[in-house]
Amino acid sequence: MTVTASTQVGIVGAGPAGLLLSHLLALRGIDSIVVENRSRAYCEARQRAGLLEAGTVELLRQVGLGQRMDVEGLEHGGIYLQFAGERHHLDFRDLTGGRWVTIWAQTEIVKDLIQSRLAAGAQVEFEVSDTEVADLDDDRPVLRYTDAAGGRHEVRCEAIAGCDGFHGICRDCMPPGLVRVAERGYPYSWLGILATVPPSTDELIYSRHEDGFALHTMRTPQVSRLYLQVPADEDIEHWPDDRIWAELRHRLELPGWELKDGPITEKAISPMRSFVASPMRYRRLFLAGDAAHIVPPTGAKGLNLAMADVTVLAEALTSLLRDGNHHPVDSYSDASLRRVWRATHFSWWMTSMLHVDPGPDPFGAELQLAQLRYVTSSRAAATTLAENYTGYFPLHWS
């Protein structure tokens, strides 16, 4: 037997995009349901992003999600760029007139969002299966799912948001031929670790080494996060902990600076890809976050873009559902894609400047070094990096 119900917005996916959308809609008095195929514990533990643009931080504060972030988040006013045996500091505050970024893990944002949604009595269904969206040519599309106990549900919605990530189902539910995909693969992956050791640096170090890229970032004053460029099809079994630390030291250390090591609590390899699907809307189905676009993590943009999409979408859906005004939903896709393409270019640029292509490429290597020297010696070039890194497009939430 199928249980039927109705709500205003059906949201597929309890990642940062889906959960924040549900939270923002609730602030506007709009009901939603969130369905998620993983467990709550899995969503809260999934290690991913860690760096927030200033605008994302300000948005979280404005919508009541800033308390823990303000106490435990780490504000950074710049980064280090390392290449050819030299480490250079870029001072974002100086370059951008006071802008900064914050280290605050996606896991913590998701925990706060889930806690706050459940405390508000919102319907968030974990461990669902067989999610379907249908009747997309109707003004009342339908969301179907099987709950954790095996009960089938059908929810009539006034709009559906596909916040179900890159491997979700919503993008493929758009009519055939509508969606245009632009993408780029990269011939390398990132091996990421989480280690119980205080960071060896005050701000992030992005290192272009002739044997591959490395990044030293962090989660807390006690926990470091580090990444290594590895071949695209690399097997994590080839990377015992000792080898990881030796390679990190090789790519990050400089005379007078040492990398502290400690127990590795998590390690995984993630592929790198740029991918943009457009349009991000078909009638009353809207895509947001990784469901519509993926960037390589080098520019730290994925989470920020996901949260920016749903901020625009929440305002647009409010106009549609509360006032019957179609204009904001009509411009949702184009407005979001302008921000997405700026971040896509920036992420591609950072990635191409810092990673070493497999196979000999002396021309490419010299271009990278020329660009890195330029970014670290020209105020104009450094400002371009800083302006994009801290977030180029302002977010509006009134």
Using an 8 Å Cβ cutoff, are 305 and 289 in contact? yes
- Residue 225 near ligand PHB by CB under 6 A: yes
**Shortest Cβ distance from residue 105 to ligand PHB (Å)?**
8
Binding residue for ligand RFL (CB under 6 A) from 49, 57, 244, 321? 49
Q: Convert residues 125-164 into a mask of x (bound to ligand PHB by CB under 6 A) and - (unbound).
A: ----------------------------------------
**Shortest Cβ distance from residue 136 to ligand RFL (Å)?**
16
**230 touches which of ligand RFL, ligand PHB, none (CB within 5 to 8 A by kind)?**
none
Binding residue for ligand RFL (CB under 6 A) from 96, 131, 347, 390? 131
Cα-based torsion angle of the residue sequence 183, 393, 305, 214 in order, rounded to the nearest 10 degrees:
70
Whole-number Cα distances in Å, 125 to 68, 145, 252: 25, 10, 43
- Residue 388 near ligand PHB by CB under 6 A: no
* Rg of the chain on CA atoms, in Å: 21
* Burial (0-12, 13-18, 19+ Cβ within 10 Å), 6: middle
Binding residue for ligand RFL (CB under 6 A) from 11, 24, 30, 43? 43
Q: Residue 216 or 380: which CB sits closer to ligand RFL?
A: 216
Using an 8 Å Cβ cutoff, are 316 and 26 in contact? no
Tell which positions 345-364 bind ligand PHB, by CB under 6 A: none
Q: Convert residues 16-35 into a mask of x (bound to ligand RFL by CB under 6 A) and - (unbound).
A: xxx----------------x
CA 44 to chain centroid: 15
Q: How far apart are alpha carbons 216 and 26 in whole angstroms?
A: 38
**Shortest Cβ distance from residue 52 to ligand RFL (Å)?**
7
Catalytic one of 23, 188, 297, 355: 297
- Angle at CA 101, nearest 5°, toward 393 and 203? 145
Catalytic one of 186, 227, 282, 389: 389
145 is catalytic: no
Using an 8 Å Cβ cutoff, are 8 and 320 in contact? no
267 is catalytic: no
Question: Assign residue 83 a region: left if phi > 0, alpha if psi is -120 to 50, beta otherwise?
Answer: beta
- Angle at CA 350, nearest 5°, toward 47 and 183? 80
CB neighbours of residue 385 within 10 Å:
22
80 is catalytic: no
Binding residue for ligand RFL (CB under 6 A) from 48, 88, 99, 184? 48
Enumerate binding residues for ligand RFL (CB under 6 A). 12-18, 35-38, 43, 48-51, 106, 128, 131, 163-165, 168-169, 190, 192, 270, 289-290, 297, 300-304, 306
Instruction: Give me the active site residues, please.
Output: 76, 206, 297, 301, 389
Residues near ligand PHB (CB under 6 A) are: 49-51, 204, 217, 225, 297-298, 300
